[in-house]
Chains A and B, each alone.
Chain A
Amino acid sequence: MPPRRSRRVAALLAASLVAAAACGDDGPDPEAAAPRASSSLRGTLVVLAASSLDPALGAVAARFEAAHDGVAVELGFDGSSTLATQIVEGAPGDVFASADEANLTRVRDAGLAGPAVPFATNELVIVVPTGNPAGVRDLHDLTRPGLRVALCGPEVPCGRYAGLAFDRARVAGPVASAEPNVRAVLTKVALGEADAGIAYATDALGDAAVDAIDLPTELQVPVTYHVGVLQDAPNPAAATSFAAFLTGPAAQAILRDAGFGPP
Chain B
Amino acid sequence: MTRHRALPLALGLLGGLGLLVLVVLPVAALAVRAPWSDLEDLLGDRTNREALRLSLVVSLWALAASVLVGFPIAWLLARVEFPGRAFVRALITLPMVVPPVVGGVALLVAFGRRGLVGQWLDQWFDVRLAYTTTAAVLAATFVSLPFFVVTVESALRAADRRPEDAARTLGARPGTVLWRVTLPGVRGAIGAGAALAWARALGEFGATITFAGSFEGRTQTMPLAISKALERDVESAILLSLGLLAVAVVVLVALRERWWGRARWGR
Instruction: Using known A-B contacts A13-B63, A16-B60, A187-B231, determine if residue A6 contacts B130 with beta carbons closer than 8 Å.
Output: no
Q: How far is the CB of B211 from chain A (nearest CB, A)?
A: 9
Q: Which residues of chain B are within 8 angstroms of A74 by Cβ–Cβ distance?
A: 215-218
Cα separation A76 to B192 with both chains bound (whole Å): 37
Q: Is B60 in contact with A17, judged by CB distance below 8 angstroms? A: yes
Q: Which residues of chain A are within 8 angstroms of B130 by Cβ–Cβ distance?
A: 86, 89-91
**Does A8 make an interface contact (CB < 8 A)?**
yes
Q: How far is the CB of B193 from chain A (nearest CB, A)?
A: 10
**Does B49 make an interface contact (CB < 8 A)?**
yes
Q: How far is the CB of B54 from chain A (nearest CB, A)?
A: 9
Taking a contact as CB atoms closer than 8 A, the residue among A10, A23, A76 that contacts B53 in the complex is A23
Q: How far is the CB of B44 from chain A (nearest CB, A)?
A: 11
Majority secondary structure, B binding face? helix
Taking a contact as CB atoms closer than 8 A, the residue among B113, B215, B258 that contacts A76 in the complex is B215
Query: Which single residue of chain A is at the shortest CB-CB distance from B122?
Result: A90
Q: Is A92 in contact with B60, judged by CB distance below 8 angstroms? A: no
Per the 8 Å Cβ criterion, residues 98-151 of B in contact with A are 108, 112-114, 118, 122, 128-132
Q: Is A8 in contact with B231, judged by CB distance below 8 angstroms? A: no
Question: Interface 1/0s, chain A 166-181, versus B by CB < 8 A?
Answer: 0000000000000001
Q: Is A3 in contact with B60, judged by CB distance below 8 angstroms? A: no
Per the 8 Å Cβ criterion, residues 231-267 of B in contact with A are 231-232, 234, 250-251, 254-255, 257-258, 264
**Does B57 make an interface contact (CB < 8 A)?**
yes
Instruction: Using known A-B contacts A6-B187, A6-B188, A20-B57, determine if residue A90 contacts B113 with beta carbons closer than 8 Å.
Output: yes
Q: Is B187 in contact with A90, judged by CB distance below 8 angstroms? A: no
Per the 8 Å Cβ criterion, residues 81-95 of A in contact with B are 86, 88-92
Majority secondary structure, A binding face? helix
Cα separation A51 to B63 with both chains bound (whole Å): 33
Taking a contact as CB atoms closer than 8 A, the residue among B131, B187, B194, B257 that contacts A89 in the complex is B131
Q: A2-B264, A9-B255 are in contact. List 16 more A-B contacts (CB 8 A).
A: A3-B188, A9-B192, A9-B195, A12-B195, A12-B250, A16-B56, A20-B53, A78-B213, A86-B213, A90-B118, A91-B131, A91-B213, A184-B231, A187-B231, A187-B232, A191-B234
7 CB-based A-B contacts, threshold 8 Å: A3-B188, A6-B187, A23-B52, A76-B215, A86-B131, A88-B114, A89-B112
| Chain B residues with a Cβ under 8 A of chain A | 49-50, 52-53, 56-57, 60, 63, 108, 112-114, 118, 122, 128-132, 187-188, 190-192, 194-195, 198, 213-218, 230-232, 234, 250-251, 254-255, 257-258, 264
Q: Which 10 A-B pairs have the closest CB atoms?
A: A90-B113, A2-B188, A6-B191, A9-B191, A91-B131, A20-B56, A183-B231, A23-B53, A90-B130, A89-B112
